[in-house]
Structure 1
Amino acid sequence: MAVKERVGLVVSDKMDKTVVVAVESRTSHQKYGKIVVRTKRYKVHDEENACQEGDRVRIRETRPLSRTKRWVVADIVNRAAEA
């Protein structure tokens, strides 16, 4: 069985050891053919609290860690620009 992986943007890091990652998927509309962008938000386990808002991260599916968490941070692809 293949492990599911997604790449998304951290939109919230306010919780302890948890970040919210928004993953965009682009699909073609079935009837009209226009590209439709859909966003899905995942609660992701971040053991070291390493992720910050604006980081691009790769997440991997895992066993249920809580009622809503089923993903863990695999690695940080890009850091957010330091302001």
Structure 2
Amino acid sequence: MPKRILIGTVISDKTEKTVTVKVERKVKHPLYGKIIRRSKHYNAHDENNEYRPGDTVRIEETKPISKTKTWKVIDRLQASKGVEIEADLDVKEAKPTGAPEDKTTHDKPAAKQDDADADKADA
């Protein structure tokens, strides 16, 4: 019997030498006929910890490697688009164009003080 080969997307690489791969398939609803997406997660062996979340990979069924791991990653079909990059840049907060300047004095607290003074005068 040939080994099954599936194509999926890596969704987690947090464990040592293991990646979690999400494999999606489309099935037709038996009564209504609508096409529905079904997905399943597989734990696959990644010997060198080289695959990252977002990578599209091909996995192959193998003999059991651990309790939950019976698949291994064969190769990467497409690299992830979002690569984390850290940069030490000073970024200033952007203000929308045409926005008024920040005022240090506000009219509302002064109005409340005037109301308090008016209450004292009435008493």
Task: Specify the TM-score bucket, using the shorter chain as the normaliser.
Answer: over 0.9
For structure 2, which runs of at least 5 residues remain unmatched after alignment?
85-123
Please give the root-mean-square deviation of Cα atoms over the aligned residues, in Å.
0.8
Q: Which runs of 4+ in 1 moved over 4 A?
A: none
Q: Normalising to structure 2: TM-score of the pair?
A: 0.66
More helix by share: 2
**Could you list the per-position Cα deviations for residues 12-61 of structure 1 after superposition, in whole angstroms to 9, with x for gaps in the alignment?**
00010000000001010111100011110000000010100100000000
Please name the residue that 1:4 is paired with: 4
For structure 1, which runs of at least 5 residues remain unmatched after alignment?
none
Please name the residue that 2:36 is paired with: 36
1:35 alignment partner AA = I
Aligned residues: 83
**Is the aligned partner of 1:70 residue 2:70?**
yes
Which protein shows a greater Rg?
Answer: 2
More strand by share: 1
Q: Identity over aligned residues, as a percent?
A: 46
1:9 alignment partner AA = T
